[in-house]
Amino acid sequence: MSKQTIGFVGTGVMGKSMAKHLQQAGHPIHIYTRTKQKATDLMNNGAFWHDSVASLANASDVIITMVGYPKDVEEVYFGDKGIIENAQPGTYVIDMTTSKPTLAEEIAKHASEKGIHALDAPVSGGDIGARDATLSIMVGGAKADYDKMLPIFELMGQTIYLHGEAGSGQHTKMCNQITNALNMIGVCEAIIYAKKAGLDPIKMIDTVKSGAAGSWALANLGPRILKEDYAPGFYVKHFIKDMTIALETAKELEIHLPGLELALQLYEELSEMGEGDSGTQALMKYFERA
Amino acid sequence: MSKQTIGFVGTGVMGKSMAKHLQQAGHPIHIYTRTKQKATDLMNNGAFWHDSVASLANASDVIITMVGYPKDVEEVYFGDKGIIENAQPGTYVIDMTTSKPTLAEEIAKHASEKGIHALDAPVSGGDIGARDATLSIMVGGAKADYDKMLPIFELMGQTIYLHGEAGSGQHTKMCNQITNALNMIGVCEAIIYAKKAGLDPIKMIDTVKSGAAGSWALANLGPRILKEDYAPGFYVKHFIKDMTIALETAKELEIHLPGLELALQLYEELSEMGEGDSGTQALMKYFERA
């Protein structure tokens, strides 16, 4: 059985690594991305370049999108020369961008009307997870479509779950970002307290991280903060996007999330300090300034 | 060399288990506690009962206190018939209550004037950690005193660090409670979101807990919340005490901890709902009512 041809839209830091794994597994890869040079490596290894989403969509058995913001997702799927208009019936489309759950539902609805199979499948694990194919992939959509695409997901990730119908992958990613946001506040407040109280913050982290107050963020980002290493594993600007989506969705669901509201507020102040392109651990700079 | 005689003040849920380990290791144990019957087990195994702290203090080589609130610590150390007044020069006194860092400094100062060695050594790990002698013990005080008491700490805990001079153990415990508090908000907000969005919250937890948004609280208290198991591993009322101390101290240190402030506010509302004697994971009830 020949490998499905995969069209990949958006080969930024994450997308590039993910597409590479698919290419290495023998899938013919078609590419569309805003900045062509970001696809050079993939093209050197035989990927086909397309000048438009329409042309890519028409040529692919499976289309994976990994773009920036919900508005980009909207354009790629519903724009003039978008995927819904141009993909063949029977095509599988997978949006791996972190985006709005309601938009994922809309894509699924319109796709279904055209005989296209749609899944939402945002990821967590950052650039390192993408590079090492250890991403966590949170999928929403029909079970049969999920089963069909599982071998492709397995080329990119490790923890892969179907969470329910269309939008459920995005909803799960929102839960991930909620705990993420609160954990980060805890890490920064503990470190600023430790510093001002004259503790050795490394020793504090070593003590706290292995107990009931521990978190991945404390164990992994805590030490980076102490080295003033604010390089992005995950960008502040993207975190703000995700939290904004989560809060909009929470409003629609009529739930009040005061912790997440606080987190978004702190990160927006951080962004106003010029830290949008820093890693999320740069929240420490907000507390150091405050 | 004969084992030091240890006076134990406060044999509640935690203290009882801790004293038992010391007793089993062969230390003669002297006891004072508010409710005598809580010491029955220990007395059946040979512990000596005292009617006053003064008499216990006078008879002990090492005095460990594990009481409730800072005001109890103050009374036990500085009261009429307190430890500072009645312990012999050369005695070691260890306050393992989670209490105010400034109070720990004061105890150390007055102890030192009387030739008494003082350490602050609050713990984390809850009733299970106390029972299994796997507590994390955060110590503040002089290095020589710490070294001398280390064999005793090792009978009760596993992760044991000296964090600096008097008060440093308490400060480290405050850091622990800060991350603890924020993690708990994240867990509850993620679960309420998952429920309202129609996700299977167990699957959500399984996905999120092993990644960059994971925490001990999510992995361990998340599943208890889903079973509506609000039994106390750690009481809401004690958590409120700890957060109050942390915020008072933060004010003295001139740092602003908006996340912790929010956590205290939510837990106070939870307490007003009558949940003071529930476990900290009962914060979920606040979100379910809201």
* Tens digits of residue pLDDT in B201-234: 999 999 999 899 999 999 999 999 999 999 998 9
Q: Does A212 touch chain B (CB under 8 A)?
A: yes
Sign (positive/negative) of CA torsion B242, B246, B252, B256?
negative
Between CA A229 and CA A209 the distance in angstroms is 19
SS3 B276: coil
Which of the residues A175, A256, A267 would you substitute to probe the B interface, choosing the one with the greatest number of B C-beta atoms within 10 Å? A175
- Which residue of chain A has the CA closest to B246? A193
**Beta-carbon separation of B207 and A172 below 8 A:** yes
Query: Given A124, A174, A212, which is nearest B180 (Cβ)?
Result: A212
Record: contact B161-A198, CB cut-off 8 A: no
State which amino acid sits at residue A52.
Answer: S
**Is B55 touching A (CB cutoff 8 A)?**
no
Instruction: State residue A1's pLDDT score.
Output: 61
Alpha helices by DSSP H, chain A = 13-24, 40-44, 53-59, 70-78, 83-86, 101-113, 126-132, 143-154, 168-196, 201-209, 216-226, 236-252, 258-270, 283-289
The predicted structure's pLDDT at residue A170: 98
B210: chain A residues, CB-CB within 8 Å: 136, 159
Per residue in A16-63, pLDDT (tens digit) is: 999 999 999 999 999 999 888 889 999 999 999 999 999 999 999 999
| Sign of the alpha-carbon dihedral angle for B88, B92, B98, B100 | positive
Q: Give chain A positions within 8 Å (CB) of B258.
A: 185, 262, 266
CB spacing of A214 vs B216 below 8 angstroms: yes
Contacts of B187 in chain A (CB under 8 A): 179
Check: CB of residue B211 under 8 Å from CB of residue A233.
no
Q: pLDDT for A5-21, tens place per residue?
A: 999 999 988 999 999 99
- Subunit contact B172:A208, Cβ cutoff 8 A: yes
**Amino acid A36: pLDDT:** 87
| B290 pLDDT higher than 90 | no
- On whether the CB atoms of residues A121 and A95 are closer than 8 A, the answer is yes
Contact check, Cβ <8 Å, A183/B182: yes
Provide the whole-model pTM. 0.95
Task: Give contacts of A173 with chain B, Cβ < 8 Å.
Answer: none
Q: Is the pLDDT of residue B131 over 80?
A: yes
Residues 6+ apart with CB under 8 A from A67: A9, A10, A73, A76, A97
What positions of B carry a catalytic annotation? 173
Q: Is A262 on the interface with B (CB under 8 A)?
A: yes
Q: Is B177 on the interface with A (CB under 8 A)?
A: yes
Give me the catalytic one of A16, A20, A100, A173: A173
Element (H, E) at B130: helix B126-132
- Looking at chain B, which runs of residues are DSSP E strands? 6-9, 29-32, 48-49, 62-65, 92-95, 117-120, 123-124, 135-139, 157-162
Please state, in angstroms and as integers, the Cα–Cα distance from residue A69 to each residue in A209, A238, A269, B97, B118, following that order. 33, 8, 20, 50, 57
Residues in chain A: 290
Interchain contact A161–B (C-beta under 8 A):
yes
Q: What is the pLDDT of residue B1?
A: 61
Cα-based angle A53, A276, A191 (whole degrees, multiple of 5): 135
Q: Does B256 touch chain A (CB under 8 A)?
A: yes
Question: Chain A neighbours among B 228-247 (CB < 8 Å)?
Answer: 233-234, 246
With a cut of 50, list the residues of chain A below it in pLDDT: none
For residues B1-6, average pLDDT: 89
User: Which amino acid belongs to residue A169?
Assistant: G
CA angle at residue B177 from B179 to B130, to 5 degrees? 120
Nearest Cα of chain A lies from the Cα of B57 at a distance, in angstroms, of 31
Determine the pLDDT at residue A2.
85
Residue type present at position B32: Y
Give me the total of CB pairs closer than 8 Å, taking one residue from chain A and one from chain B: 244
Q: Which residues of chain B have a CB within 8 Å of the CB of A255?
A: 192-193, 196, 287, 290
Q: Provide mean pLDDT across the span B149-178.
A: 98
Tell me which chain A residues have a C-beta less than 8 angstroms from the C-beta of B124.
Answer: 211-213
The total number of residues written for chain B in this structure: 290
B196 contacts on A by Cβ (under 8 Å): 253-255
- Sequence-separated contacts (24+) of A49-52 with Cβ below 8 Å: A50/A7, A52/A81
Q: Does B163 touch chain A (CB under 8 A)?
A: yes
Query: Is B289 within 8 Å of chain A by CB?
Result: no
Interface pTM, i.e. ipTM: 0.96
Query: Which residue from A164, A198, A212 is facing B216, i.e. has the nearest CB?
Result: A212
| A190·B175 Cβ contact <8 A | yes
Confidence band (pLDDT; 50, 70, 90) for B126?
confident
What is the per-residue pLDDT for A196? 98
What confidence tens digit (pLDDT) does each residue in B39-94 have? 999 999 999 999 999 999 999 999 999 999 999 999 999 998 999 999 999 999 99
Q: Which two tokens stand for residue B133?
A: 């002698």
- Within B202-281, strands assigned E span none
Place of tokens 């929470």: A250
Half-sphere exposure of A172 (CA within 13 A, CB side): 35
